Amino acid sequence: MRNISSFFGKLAKSVLFIAGMLLASSTMVQAQDAKAGEALFKANCTTCHRVQGKLVGPELKGMSDRHEEGWLIKWIKNSQSLIAAGDPTAVALFEEYNKQVMTAFPQLSDDDVRDIIAYVKAEETRLAQASSATGAEGGAAASNDASNFMIIGLILIIILAIAIMLVLNKVIRTLERIMLNNQALVQDIETAGDDEESESQVSQKLRKFLKNKKAVAMVVLILVAILGAAGWKTMWNVGVHQGYMPVQPIKFSHQLHAGVNQIDCQYCHGGAYKSKNASIPSANICMNCHKGVTGSEQYGGETSPEIAKIYRALDYDPNTGTYGNNPRPIQWIRIHNLPDFAYFNHSQHVVVAGLECQTCHGPVETMEEVYQYSPLTMKWCVDCHRETQVNTDNAYYDRLIEAHEKLKKGEKLTAAMIGGLECGKCHY
């Protein structure tokens, strides 16, 4: 069956391909012959001849019916040689038109003459169709209609044969699928007994396991322990964003600025040593360098696309060095974000404790894009406070010692003397 199906499929494709190629090639050849013949006819024949109607010479309509192609080729190329040879047709035609000499065309090849003949035939068909529309030349039109009917009928027969082949191919494939399904059904019936036997063995082992209460209890305890550990880990990490790395509006590379160029962190984040927040630098801080550093050497003389974003934010024209009146803030995305109930003061850790930025933020000088390095959980902060030794050699503790000395002497002590004027005491 499968071989028959494959044979019909290949046969249908082959017939369709051959029919299409024959139709295309025949149409192409006829179109090319008629088109070339039209150009030759207009260049050499229109002075004396028309396809329909007499001019100086006879009308050419029906010349292929009156004369053979070989004779027409000889006559058109050199009519006088035929007359001189005594060809009766040539002599009669010469005398009929008062012995007017037809111009010789020795420059035309045999194929050129055939192209002219093809054009005349095509023009005859066109004229016949036009005359049939007005009721004239009925016989010629009927002949042409019959020819067209035969061609259309042949095409329809080919299409019908291909359709029958495709339908047979579809039927054969359906029968193949039915046979395969029947074979599979038989195999299922044969193996059903084996499956029932194996299933009964499995059910027996399961019943035996369920009767063993110690084994069941052990499995339940293991599942509870696994699920409890997974749930505890999931709950513990709720709100922890370690590794968070959002896409920023400007691709600022800390590796380039803090690493390669060794720019101090507090040059940009100036609030880290004097306030609760480290602060995000304004675009004017960027312009301290990027008025002159444009990255044009890497972009063929054009300003770097990322530096151009800073210019647009400040409405700065690098060509004139002037600022416009339409600045727009850069919408940076916050990376490190503590809960509202957690208080953290950068100045206490940077100035008083003397911690490096990398203690919490990781090796930012190696980061192309900054991400949250530490978990920033309560446990992580408590562990750091337990391990970090307090450095008392700074002005903060000097003020505390001074305050205690005043207390011992009974002098006046104000809240400002013990850090009561720090903004973070009231404003979170």
Please state the domain extents for the chain: 2-156, 254-425
Residue 380 tokens, joined? 């992580």
The pTM for the full model equals 0.45
Q: What parts of the chain have a pLDDT lower than 70? A: 1-32, 55, 131-149, 185-200, 424, 428
Looking at residue 28, its pLDDT comes to 44
Per DSSP, the three-state class of 316 is strand
Residue 86 tokens, joined? 């005594």
Of 196, 380, 349, which Cα lies nearest the Cα of 275? Answer: 349
- Domain 2-156 listed as CATH 2.60.40.420: no
Looking at residue 282, its pLDDT comes to 92
Pair 116, 45: CB distance under 8 Å: yes
Residue 341 CA: distances (Å) to CA of 19, 272, 428 = 84, 20, 9
Pair 375, 360: CB distance under 8 Å: no
Of 66, 118, 112, which Cα lies nearest the Cα of 89? Answer: 66
Residue 27 tokens, joined? 């149409």
Q: Work out whether the CA dihedral 304, 305, 311, 317 comes out positive or negative.
A: positive
**Spatial distance between the Cα atoms of 105 and 79, rounded to a whole number of angstroms:** 9
Looking at residue 423, its pLDDT comes to 75
Looking at residue 259, its pLDDT comes to 94
Cα dihedral: 194, 196, 199, 203 (round 10): -140
Pair 347, 274: CB distance under 8 Å: yes
How does 191-215 read in b/e, with b if 16+ C-beta sit within 10 Å? eeeeeeeeeeeeeeeeeeeeeeeee
